[in-house]
Amino acid sequence: MTFLFKRKKGATTRILFATDMHGSEGVWRKFLNASSMLKVNAAICGGDLTGKMIVPIIERKNGKYDYYLMGKNHQTDSGGLEKAIKDVRGIGYYPYVTDETGYEECCKSQEKVDEVFSNVMTSTLKDWLDLIREKVPSETRVFVCPGNDDRFSVDDLIRDHPDVTNAEGEVIDIDETHEMISTGWVNPSPWNTTREEDDEKLETRLEKYIAQLENTESAIFNFHAPPYQTKLDEAPLLDDKLNPVIEGGRVIMVPVGSKAVKRTIEKYKPFLGLHGHIHEAAGSMKIGGTYCVNPGSEYAEGILRAFLVEFKGNKILRLQRIEG
């Protein structure tokens, strides 16, 4: 699917790029609000939109609600339930209000847990997408590319929603001269997430997508994995138990990005690279003549990290990191 903005010829183009929200409703709302306030042509979410876990909020027989959050047990009454739900959502988790029977069913069955998680995740994401029409002006188009942590069940939900475009594998006309191609697939990680494949397979995927473009040098590569051995892909070195390795009081950082992504950028020399995935590696850099950015992520703190990019033709007029 292609989409061409109706604009005056020669006008500047403004995009807002953010990624790795991981279920934080506050960050998603800030992203939509910033897109409206900054009057961007395109608001692009680069992947990992959904959360990673549910937090049961259990209604007890005495009318109180118990839940466990951030290493502590909490209890509230019906008057504090709304705040409890908001607190859980604020750090990227999904609140699941249930009774004692429902909680016991989850304790006994992983299948039940998976069912509950899928239902809560799907309904929450739909609510998020429904906010677009309320928060974002009609002249701003919103694009979402599911990332490696997003389950495949979200693809159709995004694709079928009238107010957002699922960007995975699609050539999208950002303006008269710039096409964007996107993927949320990444090279292997220690976490064995949904959309991972070795760099050879990932490169085949990228080549297939790139072949659809009319002009690669004016294209935008929205690839969730950052290019290998750049400051955009440095993450903590992990030991066998997946704990950070510390030497001399400092965490050892190593490059973990994709060699396939780096090779395709060096080969095709696109206009712009939009990346994420590695939360600690926020920044911007150039590979040859290609500007590449990774906003990073602080979703658990409710902080929006994004890049505002404004350009005219193949000249970038503004490359500004947004945080708030």
**Mean per-residue pLDDT pooled into runs of 10, the chain (324 residues):** 55 97 95 98 96 95 95 95 93 94 95 95 96 97 98 96 98 97 97 97 98 97 98 96 94 97 98 98 97 96 97 96 95
What CATH number is given to the structural domain containing 86? 3.30.420
- Residue ranges of the alpha helices (H) in the chain? 25-37, 81-90, 100-108, 110-135, 153-160, 199-210, 259-268
Q: Does residue 136 sit in the same domain as residue 283? A: yes
Which among 102, 119, 136 is the end of a domain? 119
- How many whole angstroms separate alpha carbon 94 and alpha carbon 120? 7
23 falls within a domain: yes
Distance, first Cα to last Cα, the chain: 33
Range of the domain at 48: 13-52+122-323
Which among 104, 119, 134 is the end of a domain? 119
Strands 283-287 vs 305-312: parallel, antiparallel or unpaired: unpaired
What single letter denotes the amino acid at residue 30?
Answer: K
Q: Does residue 27 sit in the same domain as residue 164? A: yes
138 falls within a domain: yes
- How many whole angstroms separate alpha carbon 226 and alpha carbon 215? 22
Domain count, the chain: 2
Among 154, 84, 162, smallest CA distance to 124 is for 154
Residues 6+ apart with CB under 8 A from 38: 14, 16, 308
Secondary element (H or E) of residue 309: strand 305-312
Q: Does residue 157 sit in the same domain as residue 296? A: yes
Q: Does residue 186 sit in the same domain as residue 317? A: yes
285 falls within a domain: yes
Q: Does residue 111 sit in the same domain as residue 154? A: no
Q: Does residue 215 sit in the same domain as residue 95? A: no
pLDDT at 252: 96
Query: What's the residue count for the chain?
Result: 324
Tokens 């090279």 found at: 187
Range 155-163 contact pairs with CB under 8 angstroms and sequence separation of 24 or more: 157/122, 157/125, 157/126, 157/129, 158/125, 158/129, 161/126, 161/129, 163/129, 163/130, 163/132, 163/133, 163/136
2 falls within a domain: no
1 falls within a domain: no
Tokens 């959502």 found at: 89
173 falls within a domain: yes
pLDDT at 6: 55
